[in-house]
């Protein structure tokens, strides 16, 4: 991991870095937004407090970038693309708009790694999701021995499905996830596809 202010990856437009305590405000707004969370089973938004998010950030493993909250932020000097809120020139990384958050998980016993990407609604429609997803896929294949990287988009989330396909993933399954009965009041079953991009496909695409 790049130690520069927790930076993990740089893309054409973005810096992907580990979350700081100050990011709890953005994460709280993102995860409480039904527009963002309904596709992952929380039609009213995630029932979580900002204090709980802050505690989670404090508890993250400082030595690893895997399995922790990562923030996607416009690069210093770049210009964010969105609906007009929080848009503009960015003189320093610290003052640049954060477009969303993401996560990547180390491979399991079968060699499958998993990723997650959530964007703030004001930045939807500008291919930030594809840029982040591709960066995570590249990083996982370059820094782990995973055989495939998996995503599980809701069957109704067309943007997420297109994001999976844009990085070379193919549909390999379909499932419905059911939350425990104890969480029935604020959750809903998630009917989702399973998409995987294999190391072979990733290497072929890079060679082209």
Give the start-to-end residue ranges of the domains of the chain.
4-207
C-alpha 121: how far from its chain's center?
14
CA-nearest of 29, 103, 27, 115 to 61 is 103
Identify the band that residue 90 occupies on the pLDDT scale cut at 50, 70 and 90: very low
DSSP H helical ranges for the chain: 24-31, 34-37, 50-59, 128-143, 158-166, 199-207
Q: What percent of the chain shows pLDDT beyond 70?
A: 90
Q: Give CATH for domain 4-207.
A: 3.40.630.30
What single-letter DSSP state applies at residue 172?
A: E
* Phi, psi of 32, deg, nearest 5: -90, -5
- The average pLDDT across 87-102 equals 68
Report whether 104 contacts 70 (CB < 8 A).
yes
Q: What is the reported pLDDT for 83?
A: 64
Report the half-sphere exposure of 19 (CA within 13 A, side-chain side).
28
**Model pLDDT, residue 2:** 54
Confidence of residue 67 (pLDDT cuts 50, 70, 90): very high
C-alpha separations of 198 from 106, 112, 125, 150 in Å? 15, 9, 26, 9
Q: Strands 148-151 and 112-119, how do they pair?
A: parallel
User: What is the overall mean pLDDT for the chain?
Assistant: 92
3-state secondary structure of 190: strand
Per-residue pLDDT, averaged over 83-97, amounts to 56
The pLDDT assigned to 96 comes to 82
pLDDT for res 130 = 98
Q: Is the pLDDT reported for residue 1 higher than 80?
A: no
pLDDT tens-digit series, residues 151-205? 999 999 999 999 999 999 999 999 999 999 999 899 999 999 999 999 999 999 9
What's the pLDDT at 63?
85
**Token duo for residue 48:** 């979580």
pLDDT for 86:
53
Point out which residues pair with 116 in neighbouring strands.
103
Residue from 186, 197, 129 nearest 158 by CA: 129
pLDDT of residue 149 exceeding 90: yes
| Burial of 58: CB neighbours in 10 Å, binned 0-12, 13-18, 19+ | exposed
Find the mean pLDDT for residues 10-39: 96
| Local structure of residue 121 (DSSP, 8 states) | G
Instruction: Give the phi and the psi of residue 48 in degrees, each rounded to 5.
Output: -150, 150
Binned at pLDDT 50, 70 and 90, residue 95 comes out as low
């Amino acid at each position: 991991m790049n130690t520069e202010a927790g930076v993990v990856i740089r893309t054409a437009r973005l810096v992907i870095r580990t979350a700081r305590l100050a990011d709890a405000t953005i994460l709280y707004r993102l995860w409480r937004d039904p527009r963002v969370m309904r596709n992952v089973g929380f039609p009213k938004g995630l029932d979580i407090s900002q204090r709980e998010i802050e505690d989670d950030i404090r508890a993250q493993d400082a030595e690893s970038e895997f399995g922790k909250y990562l923030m996607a932020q416009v690069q210093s000097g770049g210009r964010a693309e969105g609906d007009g809120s929080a848009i503009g020139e960015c003189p320093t990384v610290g003052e640049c708009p954060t477009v969303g958050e993401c996560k990547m998980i180390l491979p399991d016993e079968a060699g499958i790694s998993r990723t997650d990407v959530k964007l703030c609604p004001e930045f939807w429609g500008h291919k930030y999701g594809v840029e982040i997803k591709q960066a995570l896929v590249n990083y996982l294949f370059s820094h782990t021995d995973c055989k495939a990287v998996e995503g599980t988009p809701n069957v109704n989330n067309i943007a997420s499905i297109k994001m999976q396909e844009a990085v070379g993933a193919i549909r390999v399954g379909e499932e419905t996830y059911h939350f425990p009965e104890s969480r029935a009041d604020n959750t809903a079953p998630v009917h989702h596809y399973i998409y995987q991009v294999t190391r072979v496909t990733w290497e072929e695409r890079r060679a082209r």
